[in-house]
Structures are given as structure tokens and as C-alpha cells.
Structure 1
Amino acid sequence: MTVTLHGPWVPPGGLAFIDLETTGGPAQRESITEIGIVEVDGNEVREWSSLVRPGMRISPHVARLTGIDDAMLADAPPFEALAGEVFDRLQGRLLVAHNARFDHGHLRAALRRAGMDFRPRVLCTLKLSRLLFPEERLHGLDVLVERHGLQSPGRHRALGDARLLWQFWQRLHERMAPGTIRDAVRELAGRSTLPPHLDQAALDDMPDAPGVYLFYGENELPLYVGKSLRLRERVMSHFSADHRDDRELSLSQQVRRIDWICAEGEIGALLEEAQLVKRLQPTHNRQLRRNRELCAWRLSGDTDAGTGTGTGPRIELVHAGDLAFGRQDRLYGLFRSRREATERLRALAAEHALCPALLGLEKLPPGRRCFARQLGRCRGACCGDEPRQAHGLRLLEALRGLEVQAWPHEGPVALREGATLHVLDGWRYLGAARDEEQAAALLRSGRPAFDLDIHRILRKAMERLGPPIPLDACAGGSAGARATGGAGGARRRTPAAVPGRQPRASVTPPSTTTVSPTTKSPAREAR
């Protein structure tokens, strides 16, 4: 049926409002039972629908919900017989669906089985409603019908639901300026576009769960490592921004494969990210680089300056390789280089009128005034105008906010995050374990070097993950215990460049990708 109208904005190429009904089975099997499409081209609207004979039986629950049962589909054509017409109707259009990931995933998988590569731009009306009506809590299709006064004969049938989406589109244009809707479409439709070297359907296996993702380029070159509490959403955001950000554009042009590792939560993801960046040295990561000169300021001598008759504390720069960071007191600041440490101390000297000569920042013969004293920026501890003890007190006050907390436990501990035990010793991260036996194996494997980024994450973990579990009793565990070396615990996809772990899933070119979209449940909010 074709109708001529004058109405809402239609993007170049036209719109295709689509809904699928399925058996409730997975997309990788022949589970589509009905297709409904409303095509909008300029001033013309066309409708098309067909029942589809699936490759499996319909569950009783789905039959009750949709009214479609096995008997109705006995004489319906298989999807392969309809694939060409479906492809022609949708090609070049903006595909609009409610909970679009489900419909797009099932449709793309079915067309692939028919030998057709389908890569549309996709707009999800559930996300569109959330974006345009942020004050509302629910955005399921039944809610939209009631909220916007949509007419819903044939609800839970493919063409009836596709018509509802077209009505919703028209209602939006009655209430909002076309520019507002265009901006929202531009923002949301871009989230479904992957670079040409990647297969969009391959992302269907990637969960919106905590974890780490890894971008690889030509010849398995590590390009970028990132972390997120919602993996899939974060990965897609890289590619929706590539037309605005030169760095994202460069990254999207180079990426050839995406791996991911699931974590139990934020701490596991942070730890995994920090470890992988240092191990793989991805070309696009600007932070979390290897710390080759990690250092701190150490006070020695009379640190009780002002309470006795001593000369006050002495300050010296010490490096991570020279002492057990995390197990010593009187350390201040953790710096990535000597230059960074010196600049920070020089700034403190200027702020607190400390003597650069006594801090080792300026060479000066005994009894002579430093240059800062001549400018009135030092109180004269270098030449006897200020007692050394008073200078020492002001130095302690200046360093107060930089004090490095010593390891607060007698031995190693574990922090529980979900089913994972993060094993720590002296502010060093030994790895993740599932039980005390694995924790014991990690303790026997030795302690890694002190790492500034890991230290900061572990400080946060101590605050968030509850009371630490002492592990002294685990040190003598079974010699046959097996430990997991990473931070994420179970359910991980591990990059090939990191040995010793089990692969789970990856985003690769179409010839090597298995597609497994999530099955749409009629009970979910999206329906």
C-alpha cells in the first residue's frame, strides 16, 4: 500500500520502520516468523509485511503474545525466499526499530545466511525517546503508545508495531523542531557505525558489562587499550566520534581487530587496563605508560624538628629500585621522573618560603645567603636568620599532603570483588584468584615492581571493596595450585599478545566472525 503525504523530516535515502517477530530463538538460527516494514520516501509511505517459516518451533509463550503459531507458518515462505525483496526495500535507508539491536542483529544474520552483506545506519526509538524525554523513566513501546496517544491495532504483530514507530516519528515532529530531531538522529545513528574493516555483527557478543577492550591494527600491532563499566557502549562511542576528533578518526582508520576481557567490576577493569598498557605499549595510549624512574622524596635525620635542638630534617630523592616502596615511612610524593619531583619541590619552596639551598635545589657555600633570600623569598635558614628547626617544621607542613601511606597490614591481603579475590602485598598487585589455593600460588610467584598507577588503583580499591582478607595462612598452600595472572577473574577474552590466558571472543573481519546477537524477550522494557 502506498500513501502520499506532506509531513515530517525524512533523511536522505529515506526511512524504514521495521519490526520482527521471532520464535524466541537466537539470531544465528532461522528464528524470524514475521517481518513488517513501513517505508517513507519524501511524500510517499509504503507498507509491506510477510509471515516467515522459521527453522524451529514457536514457544507457547511467544505464540500467546503474538498470536502466531506453528500452524499459521506451515505454508509461509522461508526467509531465503524473501531475502532479496527485504534487502531491496531496506538498502540505503535509515533503519528505525525499537530496541534496534535485536531487530538489526536478527535481520543482519538472516541476510548473511542468504549471502547478502547488510550494513545499514540504525536508529533505535527506545534510545531516541530516552534522549528527547530524559525526564521520563520508562520508554518501552507500550509506554510510548500511552504517552503519545498512538493507535495500536495489531500490537505484537510485525506490521502493527512498525506502524506504531512511524506514528511515534510523526508525533515527535508535532512536538519538536525538526532541527532537534535531526541532531538526535545524527547523535544516535552514528553509534551503530563501525569502520569498514570491522564487521558490525561481531559486536553482538560484546556485553555492556565491566571490562577492558583492546584495538589492534595491521600485523596485530596494539593500538589502544581502554576500560569501561559498559564495554559495548564505550567501544561504539569511539567510532561515533571519529568525524569530530582527529585522534578518533586516526584510530578508526587503523583498527583491524577488537578484543575484550570481562571483569567483575570497576577495580578489576582498572587493574587489567593498567597492566595491559604497560605490557603492550599501545601506540594511542597517552597515559599509564611504564614508570622507569619512579621516585619519591624521603626525610631523614631530625623529623621532630621544633621539639628539640637538632638541625631539622634532611630531604633526599630516592628511587623505586633503591628501597621497598610501600613499606617505609617518611616518603613524600610519588613521581614518574626526577624532573617532576624536582619541579614539585621547587614549587613548594616558593609557596612556603623554604630555602632552596637547604632542600638541595641550589648549591651554596655554608653561611652564605641563597638567591631566594636576597629576593626576600626565603626566611634565611641558610644564613642563620631563621632557626633550622623552624624551617624543618615548615618543610613538614609543606609536605603534609604528599605523604605516602605505608602498607597498613602485617602481610599480604585479598580484596573481594564479586567472585574474584584481588591479591595485594605492599601496595603491589599480584593478580586475581578464585579461592585461597590460587591466592597461595600467586603469593609464591613473587612480588612485581612497585607501580604508581597500580598503587593509586589499590588505594581506591581499599576504600571501595570492604575489609581486606589476611592471606598469611595461604602462603603455604598446595604446590599444585593454579593462579590467574590477570585482574578480571572469569569470563575473559584475552588478547593473543598476552600469553597464558584463554581466548573468549573478538571482533574480526567478516570471514572469521561468529555472530551471536542477544535474543529479544517480550517481557523486557524494550517491548
Structure 2
Amino acid sequence: MYAILDIETTGGQYNEEGITEIAIYKYDGHQIVDQFISLVNPEIPIQPFVVKLTGINNAMLRSAPKFFEVAKRIIEITEGCILVAHNADFDYRILRIEFRRLGYDFNAKTLCTVELSQKLLPEQTSHSLGKLVRALGIPMADRHRASGDAMATVKLFKMLLDKDVEKTIISGLIKSEIQKGIAPKLLDIIDSLPSKTGVYYIHNEEGKIIFIGKSRNIKKRVNQHFTGITRSAKKIQKEVFTVTYEETGNELIAMIKELQEIKVNKPVYNRSSRKDRFSWAIYSEKDTEGYLQLKLQKTDGRKKEILSYANALDGKNALFRITANYHLCQKLTGLYETKTHCFQHTINECDGACIGKIPSSEYNERVLRFIDKNSFENKNLIIIDRGRNTSERSAVLVENGVFKGYAFYDLNYQITNPNILKNILVPMESSRDIQRLIQAYIRKNKAIKIIHF
């Protein structure tokens, strides 16, 4: 007996996906004898590209049953069956994750129609479901919906069953081994961690820190390390003995602490990710006509940057917004290459700085306004944000453009004076990377309040 299924998911990080739709056809080798088709409320948002692909959106799933409500039916219809799917490893993994969240260890034999078609139909140029059924003349409806894809898999599987007369190929491809979930030792570690924002430290048996990370959900992030399939994740899973953590309440302090702790401890598995996280920056320089130009360039430690970005695309998009907000010229911000005037001037959205139509002093005033607002140089500010619990707030102090440290304080007290803050401050070393982190955080308006002094 076979349970032929297809699952649609939310997309997202590996082992963090949720089911949005499931279709299972119970097949006895001749005909369908039972079926189960249902939307499922994953209780997490669907990735936009998945909405576009499947047509399933968050609104459609609000009234759908949650996985625990359909779990019993799934167990009933699959009991004693070999699970068949196109890329069975994926569907089986997703099912096991969902059942594991309910505390149930779901195990079944599996058979993959991708592998089966590769053996029985080696002449086909593609073994993707869509291309395979088209090539074989199998009718298909509702592509990228669970019921449509599962029914197409039923028809494909029937054809493959007929082709494997002796059933030796099918028998050889059935995976009967139980795929292991997270080892009990790792599950115990995960259970001891909070679903809070902070920094976590992964230690080996000798107590040495082998990895440091930060997350808005420590438990969830460590779970990803323990279920990951990359080389470094496998090494961490093998060597981990315990995980310690420090709650920070907000992402800014977590990012700062992570950066400094990696610098001090130099964990072996952080070394591969030590490249500059802000590799592009905006700089200013005067041209021969005296106009201040903004340039997006690769980060250069010898030059004074205004704002920095993780990649060129982020920087370019930001530069477009800056150019529009401060009424700058796209030619002078490097967004429009021309020897004459920029395109914006043609449609009366640029007042002609690109062709010297306005004085450089007038144009430079706007550029300097942007620099003054965004540059950290000589800035004094206190960034107020969430604390480690509901009765607490945090404060990050920047004085004369230099990061000084952070503090936590009771919500009943108001910290508006830097001298009061200095009395409770946890002092930390400043660096250009920390300055960039703080700038990016402020730029995204994540803080509760910013006090300038």
C-alpha cells in the first residue's frame, strides 16, 4: 500500500518551514482507496515568493485547521503505507518536523519518484515533476498546489509501476531506515534555552567556546545549528557539549556584544564568517566645479564614510532614496552616467546642478544637511530600547561620535542625562564596525527613543 503525497510550505529557513497545504492519496497499486486534502494554518507568515508560486496567501489560511488538528488523520491514512513523493526526502522531512513539534516521532518507509524516474526513464532530459508529466503526456491541473501535484505524482507512479515489471527497481529504492531527528543530547540543550533576544555561546567538552552568535530567538537559532546540513553545522553538532547565553532584550546590544565577543574569544567556527559585514559605503568628495558628490564605493578604512551597507544593492537603493529626499542630482550621486544633464533635469525634478545651473554653495548645503544628519562624527546621543523584561529598558551611549557602552535600568526611572547613565554604564570598546551597526540600527528606526544631547 502506498500513500502518495505532496506538501506545500511557507518557505523560509531550513527546518523552520511550516505546512500550508497537504494532499495524500492512498493507492493500492491499482486505484485510489482513500484521500485526504486540506489547507493547514502554519501559524507563521508565508514567504512572498511562495505566495506568488502557489497562490496560497496568509488570509486563506486564517480559518484553516492547524497541524495538530489534522495530525491524527495523517497518521491514519499513512499507517502501514510506503510514503511516495516527488523529492520524498523533502516531504518526509517536513512531516517529521511538524510531528516532532507535537512530541511525536513519525517514521515511515519512503520512495522517491525522482529517483525512480531516473532509473526507469533515463532518456528524459529533466526529472522535475512539471517537465516529466508534460513529456509523458500526463494531464496536470493546479500546478504547485498539493492536490494537483499529488495527483500528477499518482499518475506518474502508476506508469512507473507498470514499467518496472519485476518490481526489483522499486524494491531497491525504498528507504526503510529511520531518519534520525535531533540527538537526545541536543534536544536537552535546546529545551534549556529561552526564546529571547540575546547572545549565545556554544562550548565543546573542554569548555572552550567554538561558536558565538546572536538572535532575536536564541532557542530557534540554536535549533537551526543543530538541524543544519552545512559542514560547519555538522562539526558544531559533533563537538557541542553545552550552550550558554546572555539575554540582551534588544537586537542592537546583541549585535554589539556578538561582535566584541567574537573579537575577544576568536571561536573556531566563526572564522569563516569574519568578512566585513558592511562592505559598501557612501563617501563625499568635491568635483572640479566645487560640487559635493556622493559616491557609493567599496568600504575603504582610510576614508571617512557617511553610511555603510551590507552590499552594493542596498547601498544603491539607499542612494536613490537620499537623492530624492534631499533633492540632489542623480549625476552627482553617481546614479546616472552622462556627459550632459541628468534625466531628472529633463523632467524638471533636478534644478540643474549637473550643468552648473545653480551655485555649488546652494547645492552643497543640501548635501551637508544629509551628512550632518547621518554622520556619526561629534554626535551625542542615547538610544533607548527594550530591556530584558517588561519592567526594564536599555540605553546605549554615544558621545562625540564614539560608542561608550550600554546599561539596563528600571522602567520607573527616566534616563535622559548622560552623567546619570555613566554611573550604571557597562563600558565597551568602540570600533568602526560598532559605529556601523548603530547607524544601521537607527536607520531602520528600530529603537524606542533616541535622545540627542
Q: TM-score, normalised by structure 2?
A: 0.40
Q: Higher relative contact order by CA 8 Å / sep ≥ 6: 1 or 2? A: 1
Give the structure-1-normalised TM-score. 0.34
Instruction: State which structure, 1 or 2, has the greater radius of gyration over its C-alpha atoms.
Output: 1
